[in-house]
Structures are given as C-alpha cells and as structure tokens.
Structure 1
Amino acid sequence: MTDQKTSVFTGYEKFIIAIIATLQFTVVLDFMVLSPLGYILLDELSISTSQFGLVVSAYAFSAGAAGLLTAGFADKFDRKKLLLFFYTGFVIGTFLCGIAPDYHFLLMARIFTGLFGGVIGSITSAIITDLFAIEVRGRVMGFVQMAFASSQVLGIPIGLYLAKVSSWHAPFLMIVGLSIVVGLLIFKYMQPINGHLKMQTKSNAFSHLGKTLSRPEYLQGFAATILLATGGFMLMPFGTAFGVNNLGIKEDQLPTLYMITGICMLVFSPFIGKLSDRIGKYKVFLGGSAIACAMTLIYCNLGITPLWIIITLNVLLFVGITGRMISASALMTAVPEPQDRGAFMGVNSSVQQIAGGIASLIAGFIVTETSTGYIKNYPTLGNVVVFAIFVTALLMYRIHKYVTAKLNREAVASAASASV
C-alpha cells in the first residue's frame, strides 16, 4: 500500500493504475460505442428505435442483475482471479457482438456481455481500495476516470471510422483485440490480491450478501449511488438529439464536440482527483454539484446556440459531473469494512446500473419528440436532474460524516496499537 505521507506511487502501483484505467477504457468503450452506431444498426438490421433502445438497456439490466447475484461471492476469492474470470466473459460477449448476424443474436450477446462486464467495475474498485490508502485514492480514481474521456477522444471516433470503412462489427472486434492484450498483462504481471480472505468468516455467500444489504451505513451509500446515476443517465440518452434538433448543432460537428470535451476531461480528471485528496473529497463533491446544477439549468433551457458556447458549457458540465463522480467514488470506497468490500462494491455497481436503466426509461416518459425532431420538456428533465443532485449532496454529507468518524477511530486504534 502507498505510504500515506507521500504522493509518489511505486512502479507496481503505477502499473496497477494504468492497467485498470486501460481495462476500464475497454469496458466503457464497449458500452458507449453502441449509441453512435445506432443509425447504422437501424438500417443494417432493419430494427425500430424501440428495439435499438432494448439493445442498449439490456446490457445495463443484465449487468445490474449479475452484480447482485455475485456480490455474496465477491469476497470469497482472490480479486485477481475474479477479475480475470469476468473479464474473459466480457471479451467473449464482445466477440459475439462482433460476429452477430442479426438483431436477436446481438440482443443475446449484449445480455451476455452485461452479465460479465457489469461486475468488472466493482472488482476494480475493491482492488483500488485494497491497494491504495484513502489519502491518495482520489487521484487514483481521477486517473481511472480518464477511461471515460479517452473513450470519447480515441475510442468513439476510431470505432465510427472502422464502422464506415468496414462494418458495424469492426469496433467490437477492435475492443476484443485490445482486451486480450490487457487480459494477458493482468495474468502475467498483477500480483494476487487476497489479503481480505484472512478476514473472512465461515458464513455462506447468501448470508454475507444479506448482512451487506442490512447495514444502515451501506444502505446510505447505495441510495446515494442510485441518485448519482440518475442525473447522468437521464440527460445522456437524449443529449445528441437535443443538441442537433434544439441547439442547432450539425451532425458533422458532433465529433468536434466529443473530441474537445474528451480532451479537456483528460486534463481535468487527474487534477480533480488530486484536489479531492488535498482539500477533501466532500468539498470537491459539493463544488462539482454546484457546477453541474448551474450548467444543467443553463444548458437545458438553451435555444439555437453557437457551437463555441455549447462546447464551453458542455466542458463545464462534464467538469461538474466528473468532479462529483471522482470524489464520490473515492469517498464511497472507505464505507465498507475490508471483509465486505467485494460485496459492497458489487451491490453498489448493480444499483448504479439498474438505476441508470430506470432513469433512462423515466427520461423517455418526460421528454417527447415532435415530427420535426424537436425535443420537448428538456427543461423539465433538467429540473429533475438538479433536484436529484441536491438530494444526493445531503446523502453524501451523511456518508462523509460516517467515513470521517470511522477513519478517526481507525487512526486512534492504530496509534494505541503502535504504542503498546
């Protein structure tokens, strides 16, 4: 574990951060690349928009179900072995997407991919918690969160290019190739992560899951995660349609918007992580929440707007969202006890996926599309998101107080043990 008094990581710790960030890049890209491919799939597979929506949401719901089903077992195995198992399943699922001949095969492939890919985030969070002290966890999360920005800067444009010059299968096969390399590096160079096994009791997996779901402080964390997911997943599905039909963005300007936003977040994400370690994770969370609220209210009420203003507002919005996600993720890692980390992270990942799927469905009921493509009620959607952000801030304050008290107790106990 990193020395709490220094910000310098060892060579092995840098490898862990880099390999987890790259792994997350492949998982995030697999999920994100599907939406830009939508217009191609609608034509190639002769499917309706509702069928395409089901392909997208099927991953989220299967991922949520998998997390709940595996949460009770998550602390019973070496985390490296568990990661390799689920990452292998993810690679197989993505390969099936890459060879899917029709809609029903693709739908089943997305469900299969979600069953494995949806659990990976919780395993990597548990690994980060096991290997890095809370004092540096913010900057670790900051680097890992760069996977989302990287997928916008590199992954989506490359994926769309491959889809145009080859076929819509090509982006998935590209992800498979990169994922195989990542998996081999994990297999060869990652050390076993099994310290938590020494703290395990003889309770079975279902009992362990039941205890995890019954602890009040854990339930607070799950509730906060549900609301964290609500904001992003409500705005995201209709963001492109709102930009093109309401704000006047041309379709060929969308890559520019994605690229500039992604590049800015590559710069801001590590800075936000370091700032959360330096001044406090909850303070950064509040700052990010304030920025996200302001930008959401402005953005959702815009009409026809010049591209440079949209890019500026979009970057600021993502700064707020990223500030919330990095600081909240780092703070949330300190909630579970060591022997419960895998189960807690598994359930937390599940509720995030399921909440995201439900939020997307709710958003679909709030907004409507006219015959010209104009998106109605987007300001109402923005108001709902702002309300969710406000309530989340209240929940995160309770988590912040709990974590602070817990760390103080651990510090006192450690000092007392050292003086004996």
Structure 2
Amino acid sequence: MKTEGTIPFSGYQKIVIFILAMTQFTVILDFMVMSPLGDMLIKSLSMKPSSFGIAVSAYAFSAGISGLLTAGFADRFDRKKLLLFFYSGFIVGTFLCSLANSFELLVAARIITGLFGGVISSISMAIITDLFSLQQRGRVMGFIQMGFGASQVLGIPIGLYIANKWGWESPFVMVAAVAIIIAVLIVVVLKPINKHLGLQHDRSAFKHLWHTLSKKNYRIGFAATAALSIGGFMMMPFGSVFAVNNLHVTAEELPVLFMVSGISSLIIMPLIGKLSDTVSKFKIFSIASIWTMLICVAYTNLSATSFWIVIGLNVLMMIGIMSRMVPSSALTSAIPDMEDRGAFMSINSSMQQIAGGVAAAVSGMIVVQQTKFSPIEHYDTVGYVVAVVTLISIFLMYRVNQLAKKKPATVSPKAEEPELVMSEF
C-alpha cells in the first residue's frame, strides 16, 4: 500500500507540469520585468514615478476584474481551449507593450495583458486539480511555481541586459516569443480536459458565478487567498527603492540580489512541494508564516547594510514566502467541487490580484520619499502591517485545512494518465 507522497507521475502528467510551469514562467516574467525597467520607462516615456505605479497596478486590477468576469463560464468550456484562448490574448497584450510610445498606450497595453494573463493561473490551477490527486499536488505546485523563481533568475538579469542593448521594448518581445512556443505545445500536446462539462447544472454563467460565491466554504478560501496576497504585495513595489536608497545596494548589485533570491526559490520550491505531500501542509504553512513575519520585520527596520547580509536576509525571506505559497495553493485547490473548480479558481485568482493591487496602493500611502534619491520612510510600518496580516492568514488557512480534511482523497482518473501522445485540438 502506497503512503502519502509516493504516487508517481505518469509521462503525460510530467509534460503537463512542464507546459503549465512554462505558462506560469512567461506570465510572471511579463509582470516581473516591469520593475527593473522602471527607471528606463520613466525617462523614455516622460513619466512620473506615480504614473509608473499606475502602469504596474493597471495589470493587477484588470487581471482581477477579468477573473470575476470569466468565473461564470470558466467551467463551461474545455480547459485546454480556455487556456489557449487566454494565453493567446496574453501574447498579443505583451507584444503591444513593446509598441507603446506613451504612458497612455503603455497603460492600455498593460490592461489588455492583465485581462488575459490574469486568468491563466486560475485555469492552470483547475487543470492541476482535475489531473492530479491531492497527494500529488504539493509536488506539482512546487514545480509550477518555480516560474516565480525562474522569472527572478532569468527575467531581471536578461531583461536588463537586452533592454540596455536594444531598448526597453525588447524584453516584452522576448516574453511574447517564448510564449508563442509554449502556445504551440498547448495545441499539439495537451489533451482535451472536459470531464467537468458533464457535471454542470446551472443554466447561466451569472447563476454559476453566484452559485460559487454563495458557498460559505468557498468564501473562506477566497478570504485566505486575499490575506496571503496582501501580505505578499505590500513590500514588493518598494523593494528595489528600499534596497538602493536605504540599504545602499548599488544598481550593479541589484540584479545579483534578485538572481540569488530567485535561485534560492528554485531550490526550495520542489523540496517544500515534496515535503508538503508527506507531512501536514498546514504545519509547514504555519511555521513558514511565523518565519516570514520575523524576517520581514527585521528586514524593514534595516539601514545601510553589508550587501552579503542583505542577500542572506532576502534568501531567508524567500524561503519563508515560498514555503507558504506551495502548501497554501495545494490546500486551497482541495476546497471546490469538480463542477465549480474553474469558477472557484477564477474568483480566487481575482481576489489575489485585486487584493494585491489594494496592498500596493495602501503601501504607497504609508511609504514616503522626500526626493528621488533620499531613503524611503515608514517602510518599517509596512513590515508590521505584513506581520499582522500574516497572523490573520494563519487563522484563515487553518479553516481551509479543516475543509480540505473533509474532502475525500481523489486519485487522478486513469483516462488522464497515459503516456504522452499527440492530441487533437
């Protein structure tokens, strides 16, 4: 009899993991590359820093709204076709970013990219829940979310390099080119994912959306996701500004800082994924949350610090963040019933994006910088707020864990496990 964590992946499941990991990589890379291009964009398009903030948040809010708009019909289509449709729109939006020659056009392009890109994560989560058992999902989440670390390891250094060589538009062209290759793989390799279609009962998309929102258990999952997102997004917008102006990290050292942090996440994610399939996911989440709280409070209270100490603290912080992300995603995926998974994941993704946008806005109201080159003030307050929100997230994730325990352990259907074969679109 197999113990938890020993269910192997089939050949087809392995290629599905690769495809979903690469879609995650390109979507996150598109978002992450905005940060290192900030100074270049502000100067090239004659933007104010506040305008750049709008350009960044435009993606988050449009992605959140898109998730809500698509939640009602997310379970009414083959998930493969739905993924391909939105991924294609994401490619178009990303390429339009490279054509923008003004602040207004850049914001419009970011809105388009967010409308399509913001839904991809929820579709991927629904696919994972359909094709993998709960005992496999921790490992799957670990591999899928390696896209976050890979975007830091590859996105920031490569983005800065090619932007300095060919202009700020080139990173967006690069992301679009890679995404086109992945889209071809989706068409050729991924098989139809439509078993959920036979479980639909509601007559309209709106009714299905309301049906999903009306379930108390689902709302607990949405609240947990919002709390996690607020805690994660509050520090991020001003991370580079704090590192350069307060910690005295140089512009040359900044890409190294992101790269080392990204490498640490690439290493820790599969390990945490494997661990969360063998021991309590909630226990891992709780320990990682307390760890993250302590590191965040310590980090946001720093002044000028040795670069190697800054790297060490960032690695420790990344370990905590990733160790929360993997088990929380796996636990949340266990809440919805099969017929509601697409809608649930879409709403859940929307809550993540909207809460992140709100967090960034609130953080912007807390933090103060007298001039472009002076240290930012009240960043420690942001750290304290993150600690409080993290405590709330532990309580909410405890509720999610209790709900997950009530769900029967499901094993991915045999029909979905055969070795890799060419599929029809």
TM bucket normalised to smaller = over 0.9
Once residues 115 and 150 of structure 1 are traced to their aligned partners in structure 2, the CA distance between those partners, rounded to angstroms, is 23
Once residues 66 and 34 of structure 2 are traced to their aligned partners in structure 1, the CA distance between those partners, rounded to angstroms, is 21
SS in 2 for 1:22: helix
Q: Which amino acid aligns with 1:333?
A: S
Q: Single out whichever of 272-281 and 125-134 deviates more from structure 2.
A: 272-281
TM-score by length of 2: 0.94
Query: 4+ runs of 1 displaced by more than 4 Å?
Result: 2-5
Indicate the structure with greater helix content.
1
Once residues 328 and 5 of structure 1 are traced to their aligned partners in structure 2, the CA distance between those partners, rounded to angstroms, is 17
Q: How does 1:160-199 map to 2 (within 5 A)?
A: 160-199=160-199
Contact 2:62 2:111 in 1 (8 A): yes
In structure 2, what is the equivalent of residue 392 of structure 1? 393
Once residues 118 and 281 of structure 1 are traced to their aligned partners in structure 2, the CA distance between those partners, rounded to angstroms, is 26
How far is the alpha carbon of 1:231 from its aligned partner?
1.0
In structure 1, what is the equivalent of residue 420 of structure 2? none
How far is the alpha carbon of 1:21 from its aligned partner?
0.5
Q: Single out whichever of 12-21 and 297-306 deviates more from structure 2.
A: 297-306
Matched residues, number: 409
Contact 1:3 1:133 in 2 (8 A): no
Once residues 254 and 312 of structure 2 are traced to their aligned partners in structure 1, the CA distance between those partners, rounded to angstroms, is 14
Give the CA RMSD over aligned residues: 1.5
Once residues 133 and 407 of structure 2 are traced to their aligned partners in structure 1, the CA distance between those partners, rounded to angstroms, is 14
Once residues 179 and 298 of structure 1 are traced to their aligned partners in structure 2, the CA distance between those partners, rounded to angstroms, is 38
Contact 2:150 2:266 in 1 (8 A): yes
Once residues 365 and 263 of structure 1 are traced to their aligned partners in structure 2, the CA distance between those partners, rounded to angstroms, is 32
In structure 1, what is the equivalent of residue 227 of structure 2? 227
SS in 1 for 2:145: helix
In structure 2, what is the equivalent of residue 271 of structure 1? 271
Once residues 16 and 286 of structure 1 are traced to their aligned partners in structure 2, the CA distance between those partners, rounded to angstroms, is 30
In structure 2, what is the equivalent of residue 32 of structure 1? 32
Q: How does 1:21-420 map to 2 (within 5 A)?
A: 21-371=21-371, 372-407=373-408
SS in 1 for 2:278: helix
Once residues 88 and 27 of structure 2 are traced to their aligned partners in structure 1, the CA distance between those partners, rounded to angstroms, is 12
Once residues 155 and 8 of structure 1 are traced to their aligned partners in structure 2, the CA distance between those partners, rounded to angstroms, is 31
Contact 2:5 2:278 in 1 (8 A): no
Contact 1:75 1:341 in 2 (8 A): yes
Identity rate, percent: 53
Once residues 136 and 362 of structure 1 are traced to their aligned partners in structure 2, the CA distance between those partners, rounded to angstroms, is 37
Once residues 373 and 304 of structure 1 are traced to their aligned partners in structure 2, the CA distance between those partners, rounded to angstroms, is 13
Once residues 4 and 189 of structure 2 are traced to their aligned partners in structure 1, the CA distance between those partners, rounded to angstroms, is 24
Shift in alpha-carbon separation, 1:47–1:404, aligned structure 2, 3 A: same
TM-score by length of 1: 0.95
How far is the alpha carbon of 1:250 from its aligned partner?
1.4
Asked which structure has the greater RCO (Cα within 8 Å, sep 6+), the reply is 2
How far is the alpha carbon of 1:376 from its aligned partner?
0.9
Q: Which amino acid aligns with 2:389?
A: A
Unaligned residue ranges in structure 2 (runs of 5+): 412-425
Shift in alpha-carbon separation, 1:406–1:106, aligned structure 2, 3 A: same
How far is the alpha carbon of 1:399 from its aligned partner?
1.0
In structure 2, what is the equivalent of residue 414 of structure 1? none
Q: Which amino acid aligns with 2:142?
A: G
Shift in alpha-carbon separation, 1:44–1:397, aligned structure 2, 3 A: same
How far is the alpha carbon of 1:203 from its aligned partner?
2.2
Unaligned residue ranges in structure 1 (runs of 5+): 412-420
Contact 2:5 2:136 in 1 (8 A): no
In structure 1, what is the equivalent of residue 414 of structure 2? none
How far is the alpha carbon of 1:5 from its aligned partner?
7.1
SS in 2 for 1:160: helix
